[in-house]
Structure 1
Amino acid sequence: MIGKLDEYLRFNETALNLRAQRQQLLASNIANADTPNFKARDIDFNKALQGALAKSGPPNAPEMARTDTVHLSSKNGNTVGGAPLLYRTEQQGNVDGNTVNMDAERNQFTDNAIRYEAGLTLINAQIRKMLSAIQGQ
């Protein structure tokens, strides 16, 4: 029973986790807007979501053997959900080598925040439906 509930909520849970990680990445870009030679980073959210969903798989799936702790893991800081961290293409040249475009970063940050809120709304609706079914209403 718990496995079915987990499967029912897995997609939105995974999407929210990736949105939160992306929000931290975008916030880091904004925070480093004045740092010389800082290169703005982002992820391809669709690829990251596909990778995270493929990696999560069934609850009792066997795990692959690792010869090093960072193999097949996103803990090395170069991937999010199995998708690589990408550098943003430079839109305007900057003398100090910084590639952060504050307008683009603010837009991406706001868009991601709105999508995160939408994901929360969807999970709340799913939980309400489950409660309604359990209570027989």
Structure 2
Amino acid sequence: MAISFDKAFGVHPHAMLIRSQRAELLASNIANADTPGYKAKDIDFASALKAAKTGQMHGNSMVRTHPEHLSASTNISTNGTKFRVPNQPDTGDGNSVDIQVERNLYTQNAIEYQASLSFMTSKIMGLKKALGGQGA
């Protein structure tokens, strides 16, 4: 009986990829907090995850030379990236980054990434135990 990694890992590999790219966007927002005219961006996680689950991911992908090979892609669709609606009035320089909001979102994203990583680790350990017939 073949092991289906898609079924074993569920949505977590897609979620980790999206959270990784979201961390890059949030870090970019933090880095550009003092850049005049910079607009804060974020990923619509729900729509990006839905696109990832339905196989609508874009970017670099590997060529499958056999129908039973796993497919892989390295980027999520850029339609999930949107400008954030500012919570504060314009300070005059056109920058829409609220550094406190960005730091909080970055921390929350990191915690959620870590949760998915912990889940994946426990699943891998369980599969390893099942395949090896012994404890990890």
CA contact (8 A) 1:40 1:88 kept: yes
Q: Deviations over 1:68-97 (max 9, x none)?
A: xxxxxx97xxxx446431111111122101
Q: What code does the residue aligned with 1:122 have?
A: F
Q: What code does the residue aligned with 1:39 have?
A: K
Match of 1:86 in 2: 82
Give unmatched runs, 5+ long, in structure 2.
58-63, 68-73
Matches within 5 A, 1:31-110: 31-55=31-55, 80-81=76-77, 83-93=79-89, 94-110=91-107
Q: 1:56/1:97 Cα in 2 relative to 1: closer, same or farther (>3 Å)?
A: closer
What's the TM-score, normalizing by structure 2?
Answer: 0.77
How big is the shift at 1:7? 4.4
Q: Quick check: 125-134 or 101-110, which moved more?
A: 125-134
How big is the shift at 1:8? 2.5
Secondary structure in 1 matching 2:87: coil
Q: What code does the residue aligned with 2:13 have?
A: E
Q: Once superposed, which parts of structure 1, at least 4 consecutive aligned residues long, lie more than 6 Å away?
A: none
How big is the shift at 1:115? 0.5
How big is the shift at 1:55? 1.4
Q: Percent same amino acid among aligned pairs?
A: 40
Give unmatched runs, 5+ long, in structure 1.
61-73
What's the TM-score, normalizing by structure 1?
Answer: 0.76
Following the alignment from structure 2 to structure 1, what is the Cα–Cα distance between the partners of residues 35 and 22?
A: 20
CA contact (8 A) 1:37 1:97 kept: yes
Q: Deviations over 1:4-40 (max 9, x none)?
A: 1244235211111110000000000000000001000
Mapped pair 1:135 → 2:132:
yes
Q: Deviations over 1:32-71 (max 9, x none)?
A: 00000100000110111011111169x85xxxxxxxxxxx
Q: Which has the higher helix share?
A: 1
